[in-house]
Structure 1
Amino acid sequence: MRLRRTRSTAATAPRPAAALAGALVVAAVLGCSAPASEVRDEAVPDEGATSASGGSTPSGDVTTGPSLDPAYAVDPPGRFKALPRTADVVVQTQETIDEETLAEIERIPGVAAVEQFSMLQVSIENRVLNVAAVDPATYRRYAPGQLPQNQEIWDRVAAGELAVGRAVARRLPLDDDDFLQLTSEVPPIHLGVMAPQIENAVDAVVNEKWGEALGATPGNALLVSSELTVAPEVVAEPLTKMLPKDSSIERLDAVARYGLDPDAVQTAQVVGSLADAIGVFTYRPIGGGRIAPDPAWVRTHISTQSVPILGDVTCNNAIFPQLRAALEEIVTAGLADEIKRDQYAGCYYPRFIAGSTSLSNHSFGTALDLNVPGNLRGTVGEMDRVVVSIFKKWGFAWGGDWSYTDPMHFEMARIVRPS
């Protein structure tokens, strides 16, 4: 599906995108055979990229990573000729936003421009990332700071590379060539750009071809820019009447103050092998790092059942067949004593990752923590490696394999059904 791109709907001049604190930006090419552009907090005279050796990479002349598949490339965006805009409201719905609704939104008094794209969530090492699948030529207008004018960034996204912020990039399990497995159903994507994203709304950006491959719902998200003299809540309120009740309509001015808009429903549409098990997950933040999921989702996806060794546990319904099978095999192998019932720390626990606004897989009930005292984060841990291998056989990933280890943590990585 080719999304319709919208233009400014107001005659007033657009606002510049919000500047990064205290700095302009430059893209610096890092590495050797698989370089990534990194936005640094330095002033530069133009929108070109500075190479690791100190030379200049002209705009539009981009060195991409090795073996980029042209099947995931879109047309390069060309030079930036528009003016930047501020993203004031971000919207995510469960279905495609149709043309008629989009036209209504464009006519809301105070709306200056609307950008339609696809939003999806991927789970990587117990952290759920918001991924925007975009048209680089038009989405770039809403990027922060001087990023709209940085040609290399958007050429690389168009070529099929991933753009993320530096803080997110540090947590990603990249291979030696800076490729990342977003889901098991698609090939790895190359990390091409480290650049700030729309804070607490977008963690990573890919082009529309990647969105389609990942299984994103086409056109289920919007960025809305309001006129210079109009507060975001003025345009956000009419959106609640035009869009389905379970839509996420988040004012980014509130995000800047609180980390998340406290009045907005949040939506997670997790793609990959667990999409059917998780479904569409809506929730509200309730403070203290906790969330309140939609009670209807909880009723249909979460239950308490008895399993070997641990007894009664509360998890996602989809996890029980393979969890039960793994624990039964551990008992048969004579290793039941390696799992301490009194050191089990739970499965379904609706919360964010500590100190962040990223969901944990515990929020979906698809992860469990075992033998907590001897298996703290950042340690090798004490988990019996045969126990670990049995869990892996039954479709679980183990946090002890991660770059920042979490050896107590096992999460359902794929569906495995006992025969």
Structure 2
Amino acid sequence: MSAHTFNRRAATRIGAVSILLAILASLAGWFAAQESAEEATVDLAIEESQRLLRHFDALHMDTEAGRAHAATAAQAIVGGLFDIAEIYDAAGRKLAEAATEVGEAIEAQLPSHARPLQGEAVYDSQTLPDGRWALRVFVPLATLEEPGEGFFEGVRVIPAWQQDQILHGALATAGLAAFAALLCGVAIYPVVVHLSGENERKAHEVLDSHIAMMEALGRAIAKRDSDTGIHNYRVAWTAARIAERMGFQKTAMQSLIAGSFLHDVGKIGIPDTILLKPGRLDEDEMAIMRTHVTLGEEIVKGMGWLDGAHEVVAAHHEKWDGSGYPRGLAGSQIPLAARIFAVADVFDALGSRRPYKEPMSFGQARAILERDTGRHFDPAVMAVFREIAPQIHATLSQCDEEELRRLLTGAVRHHFDV
């Protein structure tokens, strides 16, 4: 993924998250502001009702004078913060009631209520059937300083001007919360881009070290086998081209490339007298040569990122008909990566100069691969290779080792997402 593509994708995702957070924050701010305004109104109503009840000496209702004071207090309370004022004794009997015109109009719309808990002021917010918003307050007629009995019920219909005030306050709070969320997104974006750049740089460094390690191992055996590492580049690139046509991606492709490049790493442990013998190997020498597969498995096993190379290293000499080595696997028992590599390896070996043979022409090499399809090679892999073989040959025939290194490095960077 290019830096431009990542930056665009990061901006899109951060923007989407910021907008979502802005919406959620604005909703939360909206409800919080409304709740705060509502509670402030109720607190003021409770405080004012208690003040007036004390002023009119309506906290004690066990006397005729107290009940008269309750009626006076109820009349005094309505018209200010309340549209309905009702005072009840300890048994829940209504002692006094007063209401404004608004209160009288909405009283029938109010639901009935149970007696509130003694000693605890409570309220509820209600949307009336006619659409108006009312706050209902229950205030106990007792305090720690002045124990009393009974309770006060007050209803306030929130006027339009106060609703507008609450609405504007809620909108302001919601807008501020949304702006803060969006501002956070704007602030986070350059940090993410910077960290991404650092990660990409580190990824390049790690990949370069992996390629260098892979090349070092490949060169170590190539110098002993054919005095050049070009074979490793050719077969790894050729195998990658076939695998691309067969849908290999990500980890599968990475493992194939590493395994193809290091397929003969076990030859490090083969004596020079056998490895560099100009003629054909006898039976005993061939048995020793074949141990390079097991040696290669031991080398790549447990090497972290090279673990994926194991399939090709372990099975690149198996054959489709089961006549290969070291395990005699057949057909789909052979890992697909190893079946792909077998075609690339034999094709390159036939066209390359070795201590014991001259290189074959493209036509001769292709004829041998066709002859051995179904015996040595997977027919499905050969069907893919057959289509691209001329192009592969044309490209490889014009490349020296440095050009091949650039070709393989480009494939590695592409398939390792760097």
User: TM-score normalised to the size of structure 2?
Assistant: 0.16
Q: Which has the higher helix share?
A: 2
Bigger Rg over Cα = 2
User: TM-score normalised to the size of structure 1?
Assistant: 0.16
Q: Which has the higher strand share?
A: 1
